[in-house]
A and B are shown apart, each in its own frame.
Chain A
Amino acid sequence: MRVSLVIGAMLSAVFVSLAAVSLLWLPYDITVLDIAGRLHPPSASHWLGTDHFGRDMVAMLMAGARTSIAVALVAVGIGIVFGVPLGLVAAAYRGTWLDEAIMRGNDLVFAFPSLVIAILITAVFGASAVNAILAIGIFNIPVFARVARGGALPLWTLDYILAARVAGKGRARISAEHILPNIANLLIVQGTIQFSLGILAEAALSYVGLGAQPPMASWGRMLADAQTMIYTEPQLAILPGMAIVLMVLGLNLMGDGLRDALDPRLRKAGM
């Protein structure tokens, strides 16, 4: 299904470029409150209207995209940087105490209900975007460790790895030079999935007030603010939600499409 790859990549690209543009330019300053201009309906000057503080909704959504993507991206980065080496080591020393220790540690983190612990982490160490990143990122580590180990294990039995070993290369070097490039596909697909889960988790955390703090804009935060006004100003709740749905949908479609494209064996299942 290449269609899903194209649609997903296009949706994701739209949000990523909106977030990138927001780093340099926003249509309006979102730190300036304009109570007189609050709750404007869409118009030529404010395409999607203004919120209860008179902030432009387009600017808020763009800045929200920036926060979501930054949080999710760094959280995935944490997972890859710590998880992949762990998985590679476990695979290289398969069956030893090292492998066992890494995998048991993994199972332990997996056993925790991630969002509950994330709520706890941000509650204890204070609500902020950084703590949200850490809370989401920690639970990405075992995911990538498992994927890396699972992808690496069958490779270690192949002839060219054996040849490399005979040639005197160490396990670490083989992992870096031969194993890693061959499991990159798997990691990219998993990265896309974790990225979309990160966006959802960030939205949930900031919705309950434990993520990004004002004046930082965040889609989850916007939803929380809009909730009390849902009777009179439903569009304030609908727009950020749509942004989350489209972004996550785009990433999921892209992940599925990438998996199909990179691994023809999975095409049949279509999951």
Chain B
Amino acid sequence: MIRALGRRALSLLLALIAASVVIFVMLQAVPGDPAAFMLGMNASEDAVAALRAELGLEGPLVVRYLAWISGMLGGDFGTSYTYRVPVAELVSERIVVSAPLAVMALVLSTVIAIPVGLIAAARRGGVADWGIMGGTQLGIAVPNFWFAMILVLVFAVKLRWVSAGGFPGWDAGLWPGVRALLLPAIALALPQASILARVLRSALLDTLDQDYIRTARAKGLSRRATVVRHALRNAMIPVLTILGLQFSFLLAGAIIIENVFFLPGLGRLIFQGITQRDLIVVQSVTMLLVFAVILVTFLVDLAYTFADPRLRRR
């Protein structure tokens, strides 16, 4: 158990190092000098050189990489070229939009997927099952940013229930903030919920065939109690795995959805960084997102290894 844990922690560390190297090296390949870009066409060579030194663009690659990484570890993500403020400050301003959005989408998709998957498995082969399987097939095929646009069209343009985009800030109160994130969260949740419901259904069908289910029924447990107490608990393992794997798609989806709703989140920060050649912002924010994804994958892996003794040996 300890050995397995150590091996996983080691591979987590390796993945993080590899990710940081890839991100760093890739951004070194960006054409154009950010210092020259910032100072405009008429800047003197001396001024550009001075700014390059100030931005930490001088010196050998390895030294700059190590400086960046040790800074990140200490919470110093660098200073934005365009905003002239620490990237950490920008991140903390934006994460209060992106994180609640991702959590809302995650909760919504789970809340939708569990009953839907349960009904489909319970009514296997019936009309409800067919309807659900068809509906989820459609849900998977819908690009979330397009679904977001359709939601805007229906609920903001036609019905005028919510605003089409923007974010009032949490200072305006909890409800206005949640309301602004509601449509984006629904748009993000739909494909996730469809995938989860299908995984849950098939996992339930698998467990319902097991001997211990027959035993539970034979000792007089009701159908409902058997499903909830025995089948659902076991079926949750693959569901959890998928939930963890989907986290990366959720983040990527959030980055794109933020553009549909003009939400000032991390995704828009990355895109602004790209267009303004604010590379340190792009570099550090991407690294943070990759870190989040790798960490979640690791934790999920750990969680079900812990939950399922059969997996501990591997």
Q: With A111-B294, A116-B252, A223-B146 in contact, do A248 and B202 touch (Cβ < 8 Å)?
A: no
* Residues on the A chain within 8 Å of B153, using CB: 230, 234, 237
Q: With A123-B274, A245-B138 in contact, do A238 and B15 touch (Cβ < 8 Å)?
A: no
Binds A, one of B66-74, B105-113, B224-232, B253-261: B253-261
Binds A, one of B25-33, B47-55, B85-93, B180-188: B25-33
Q: How many residues on chain B are close to A (CB under 8 Å)?
A: 50
1/0 per residue, CB under 8 A from A, across B156-199: the answer is 01000000000000000000000000000000000000000011
A6 to B152, CA, bound (A): 34
1/0 per residue, CB under 8 A from B, across A229-255: the answer is 011001001101100111011001100
- Verify if B215 is at the interface (C-beta below 8 Å from A): no
Q: With A245-B142, A249-B138 in contact, do A208 and B256 touch (Cβ < 8 Å)?
A: yes
**Majority SS of interface residues in chain A?**
helix
Q: Are B199 and A271 in contact (CB under 8 A)?
A: yes
The residues in B between 1 and 40 inclusive whose CB is less than 8 angstroms from any CB of A are: 11, 14-15, 18-19, 22-23, 26-27, 29-30
Q: Are A121 and B141 in contact (CB under 8 A)?
A: no
Q: Are A208 and B271 in contact (CB under 8 A)?
A: yes
- Verify if A129 is at the interface (C-beta below 8 Å from B): no
A124 to B286, CA, bound (A): 13
1/0 per residue, CB under 8 A from A, across B232-272: the answer is 00000000000000001101110110011000000000110
A249 to B294, CA, bound (A): 30
- Verify if A104 is at the interface (C-beta below 8 Å from B): yes
- Verify if A120 is at the interface (C-beta below 8 Å from B): yes
Q: With A108-B15, A111-B293 in contact, do A230 and B149 touch (Cβ < 8 Å)?
A: yes
- Verify if B206 is at the interface (C-beta below 8 Å from A): yes
A226 to B149, CA, bound (A): 10
A125's contact among B11, B29, B249, B290, by CB below 8 Å, is which? B29
* Residues on the B chain within 8 Å of A269, using CB: 202, 205-206
A231 to B149, CA, bound (A): 11
A200's contact among B19, B143, B201, B251, by CB below 8 Å, is which? B143
Q: With A107-B11, A123-B282, A237-B153 in contact, do A116 and B289 touch (Cβ < 8 Å)?
A: yes
A244's contact among B26, B146, B256, B293, by CB below 8 Å, is which? B146
Looking at the assembled complex, report how far the CB atom of A52 sits from the nearest CB atom of chain B, in whole angstroms: 16
B11 (CB) vs chain A CBs: closest residue: A107
A120 (CB) vs chain B CBs: closest residue: B286
Q: Are B249 and A115 in contact (CB under 8 A)?
A: yes
Q: Are B140 and A252 in contact (CB under 8 A)?
A: yes
**Majority SS of interface residues in chain B?**
helix
Looking at the assembled complex, report how far the CB atom of B306 sits from the nearest CB atom of chain A, in whole angstroms: 20
Looking at the assembled complex, report how far the CB atom of B34 sits from the nearest CB atom of chain A, in whole angstroms: 13
1/0 per residue, CB under 8 A from B, across A78-119: the answer is 000000000000000000000000001001100111111101
Q: Are A124 and B260 in contact (CB under 8 A)?
A: no
A112's contact among B19, B255, B270, B274, by CB below 8 Å, is which? B19
Q: Are B252 and A207 in contact (CB under 8 A)?
A: no
1/0 per residue, CB under 8 A from B, across A16-47: the answer is 00000000000000000000000000000000
A268 to B198, CA, bound (A): 14
A268 to B203, CA, bound (A): 12
A119, A207, A249, most chain B CB atoms within 10 A: A119
Q: Are B289 and A111 in contact (CB under 8 A)?
A: no
A196 to B253, CA, bound (A): 16
* Residues on the B chain within 8 Å of A208, using CB: 256, 259, 271
* Residues on the B chain within 8 Å of A244, using CB: 141, 143, 146
Looking at the assembled complex, report how far the CB atom of B203 sits from the nearest CB atom of chain A, in whole angstroms: 9
Q: With A113-B252, A116-B255, A241-B146 in contact, do A230 and B141 touch (Cβ < 8 Å)?
A: no
- Verify if B150 is at the interface (C-beta below 8 Å from A): yes
- Verify if A203 is at the interface (C-beta below 8 Å from B): yes
A12 to B252, CA, bound (A): 27
Q: Are B19 and A111 in contact (CB under 8 A)?
A: yes
Q: Are B150 and A114 in contact (CB under 8 A)?
A: no
Q: With A112-B19, A271-B199 in contact, do A204 and B30 touch (Cβ < 8 Å)?
A: no
Q: Are B29 and A245 in contact (CB under 8 A)?
A: no
- Verify if A213 is at the interface (C-beta below 8 Å from B): no
1/0 per residue, CB under 8 A from A, across B102-134: the answer is 000000000000000000000000000000010
Q: With A116-B251, A120-B286 in contact, do A207 and B137 touch (Cβ < 8 Å)?
A: no
* Residues on the A chain within 8 Å of B252, using CB: 113-116, 119, 204
Q: Are A249 and B141 in contact (CB under 8 A)?
A: yes
- Verify if B145 is at the interface (C-beta below 8 Å from A): yes
Looking at the assembled complex, report how far the CB atom of B15 sits from the nearest CB atom of chain A, in whole angstroms: 4
Q: Are B256 and A204 in contact (CB under 8 A)?
A: yes
- Verify if B98 is at the interface (C-beta below 8 Å from A): no
- Verify if B80 is at the interface (C-beta below 8 Å from A): no
29 CB contacts below 8 A, A to B, read A104-B11, A108-B15, A111-B293, A111-B297, A116-B248, A116-B255, A117-B290, A119-B252, A119-B270, A120-B27, A124-B30, A125-B29, A200-B143, A208-B256, A223-B145, A223-B146, A226-B149, A227-B260, A234-B153, A237-B149, A237-B150, A241-B142, A245-B141, A248-B143, A249-B137, A249-B138, A252-B137, A268-B205, A271-B199
